[in-house]
């Protein structure tokens, strides 16, 4: 085990020293932006690609392109606040659907539990779910496929469901860039649009940035963001891998946390969830360049990393036990059905209708991808010892 006992190992841990310096000094040009756009259009068979400040802005543009204000879109009942934010910012309403415990995704089984009359397509009028005001009505016209932690949905079945109910599919690629569905198609080549996040710890990680590929004709014109990123955002993205590395180093003497908290306080580091949705700003040019490099690497290495997960009782105790022998497992995805915790209340999540989502959020641990598989042996043992027993849920 090469790691000591410390809590800040998770900070930018995907970045090697070489990559930290590349991140600091890479010069991006307009042609890097164009190259990334061309690549995305080609790989995802799109009509057009737009590069954005972050994933939630990209998802928002995808939603705006295909839906009318006031419509409902189906959202996985286990997701992050960024998705909720994108839906709201597009003038739409989220309809959370419960997940399956083995895939962390909705399935046709849970989709069909939507009260009848709900999924009658773009032309039909329908009543809203019970947690909302019964006097309001709206149409469910879309479905966001998320492929949680890289686990693909049963795409054929979901696609049929969408067809049957006249729903437009949007694919959120934040967790699943490079992943293939069971029928061999790549995630991002199925829906009307694919939205990417290049944020911290995502499959393509340039600290911030996002993109949307429109694969079908747009119902209305979408304005591409043109303004350059704010200097402060640009610098935060440049320096985060370095700060992360310093904090990881300092955590051996228990100072990493102090430094990181200080950096957050003076806004030199921003927590991912606080990254603002902004439809007027594009990605930094250097991030476009690095994102394209990562896309090419993803292609070469074949199977991308997927966050393994398990369900444990007394998660806090398990995390403590893991920490005692040097594993940093915090920064969990996800502790609430819509994470992070500090935004959860805002969402008014329909807990009663999504029991599996609630269960999973309470019990899940997921294995960070910055440990080598062989380094995780002991951690697997600990997690196994505390696994939730079948029938004791």
Answer for which of 210, 229, 256, 350 binds ligand PLP (CB under 6 A) is: 210
Interaction between residue 272 and ligand PLP (CB under 6 A):
yes
Q: Could you tell me which residues are beta bridge partners of residue 311?
A: 364
- Residue 96 or 386: which CB sits closer to ligand PLP? 96
Answer for which of 105, 151, 177, 197 binds ligand PLP (CB under 6 A) is: 197
**Beta strands 93-97 and 140-145: pairing type?**
unpaired
Interaction between residue 251 and ligand PLP (CB under 6 A):
no
- Counting residues that bind ligand PLP (by CB under 6 A) gives 18
**Full DSSP string of 34-82:** HHHHHHHHHHTT-SEEEEESSHHHHHHHHHHHH--TT-EEEEESSEEHH
Interaction between residue 174 and ligand PLP (CB under 6 A):
yes
CA atoms of 117 and 125, how far apart (whole Å): 8
- Residue 82 or 288: which CB sits closer to ligand PLP? 82
- Residue 82 or 169: which CB sits closer to ligand PLP? 82
For the chain, the C-alpha Rg in angstroms (whole number) is 21
Answer for which of 56, 282, 315, 386 binds ligand PLP (CB under 6 A) is: 56
212 sits in which H/E element: strand 210-214
Report the nearest approach of ligand PLP to the CB of residue 40 (Å): 15
Interaction between residue 146 and ligand PLP (CB under 6 A):
yes
CA atoms of 169 and 104, how far apart (whole Å): 18
Q: Closest CB to ligand PLP belongs to which residue? A: 55
Helix (H, G, I), strand (E, B) or coil at 185: coil
Answer for which of 188, 199, 225, 337 binds ligand PLP (CB under 6 A) is: 199
Q: What is the DSSP letter of 125?
A: -
Interaction between residue 275 and ligand PLP (CB under 6 A):
yes
CA atoms of 67 and 72, how far apart (whole Å): 9
Answer for which of 80, 87, 169, 263 binds ligand PLP (CB under 6 A) is: 80
Q: Is the peptide bond before 334 cis (omega within 30 degrees of 0)?
A: yes
Report the nearest approach of ligand PLP to the CB of residue 94 (Å): 12
Interaction between residue 175 and ligand PLP (CB under 6 A):
yes
**Beta strands 79-80 and 93-97: pairing type?**
unpaired
Segment contacting ligand PLP by CB under 6 A, of 26-34, 52-60, 112-120, 131-139: 52-60
- Residue 54 or 336: which CB sits closer to ligand PLP? 54
Answer for which of 83, 176, 292, 379 binds ligand PLP (CB under 6 A) is: 83
CA atoms of 129 and 67, how far apart (whole Å): 19
Report the nearest approach of ligand PLP to the CB of residue 1 (Å): 29
Q: What is the DSSP letter of 123?
A: T
Q: Could you tell me which residues are beta bridge partners of residue 170?
A: 144, 193
Q: Taking Cα atoms as reference points, which of 212, 180, 176, 210 lies closest to residue 194?
A: 212
Q: Could you tell me which residues are beta bridge partners of residue 364?
A: 311
Report the nearest approach of ligand PLP to the CB of residue 133 (Å): 27
- Residue 83 or 167: which CB sits closer to ligand PLP? 83
CA atoms of 298 and 300, how far apart (whole Å): 5
Answer for which of 51, 65, 75, 82 binds ligand PLP (CB under 6 A) is: 82
Segment contacting ligand PLP by CB under 6 A, of 39-47, 49-57, 258-266, 342-350: 49-57
Say which residue the tokens 């979901």 belong to: 158
Give every CB contact of residue 53 below 8 A, 6+ residues apart in sequence. Answer: 208, 209, 210, 225, 229, 233, 275, 276, 277, 278, 281, 282, 283
- Residue 56 or 289: which CB sits closer to ligand PLP? 56
What residues make contact with ligand PLP under the rule CB under 6 A? 54-56, 59, 79-80, 82-83, 146, 172, 174-175, 197, 199, 202, 210, 272, 275
């Amino acid at each position: 085990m090469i790691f000591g006992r410390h809590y800040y190992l998770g900070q930018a841990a995907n970045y090697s020293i070489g990559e930290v310096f590349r991140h600091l000094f890479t010069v991006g040009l307009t042609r890097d932006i164009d190259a990334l756009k061309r690549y995305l259009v080609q790989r995802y068979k799109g009509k057009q690609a737009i590069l954005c400040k972050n994933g939630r802005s990209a998802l928002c543009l995808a939603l705006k392109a295909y839906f009318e204000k006031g419509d409902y879109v189906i959202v996985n009942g286990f997701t992050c606040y960024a998705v909720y934010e994108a839906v709201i910012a597009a003038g739409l309403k989220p309809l959370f659907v419960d997940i399956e415990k083995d895939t962390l995704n909705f399935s046709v089984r849970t989709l069909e539990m939507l009260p009848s009359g709900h999924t009658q397509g773009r032309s039909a009028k329908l009543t809203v779910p019970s947690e909302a005001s019964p006097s309001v009505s709206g149409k469910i016209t879309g479905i966001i496929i998320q492929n949680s932690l890289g686990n693909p949905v049963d795409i054929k079945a979901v696609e049929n469901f969408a067809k049957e109910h006249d729903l437009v599919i949007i694919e959120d690629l934040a967790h699943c860039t490079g992943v293939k569905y069971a029928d061999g198609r790549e995630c991002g080549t199925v829906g009307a649009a694919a939205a990417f996040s290049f944020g911290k710890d995502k499959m393509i990680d340039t600290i911030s940035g996002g993109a949307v590929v429109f694969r079908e004709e747009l119902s209305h014109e979408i304005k591409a963001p043109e303004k350059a990123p704010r200097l402060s955002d640009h610098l935060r993205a440049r320096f985060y891998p370095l700060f992360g590395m310093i904090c990881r180093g300092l955590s051996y003497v228990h100072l990493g946390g102090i430094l990181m908290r200080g950096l957050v306080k003076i806004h030199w580091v921003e927590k991912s969830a606080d990254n603002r949705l902004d439809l007027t700003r594009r990605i930094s040019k250097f991030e476009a360049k690095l994102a394209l490099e990562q896309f090419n690497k993803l292609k070469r290495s074949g199977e991308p990393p997927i966050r393994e997960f398990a369900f444990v009782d007394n998660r806090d105790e398990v995390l403590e036990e893991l920490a005692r022998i040097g594993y940093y497992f915090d920064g969990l995805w996800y502790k609430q059905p819509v994470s992070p915790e500090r935004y959860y209340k805002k969402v008014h999540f329909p807990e009663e209708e999504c029991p599996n989502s609630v269960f999973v959020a309470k019990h899940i641990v997921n294995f960070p991808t910055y440990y080598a598989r062989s380094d995780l042996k002991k951690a697997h043992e600990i997690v196994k010892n505390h696994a939730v027993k079948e029938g004791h849920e």
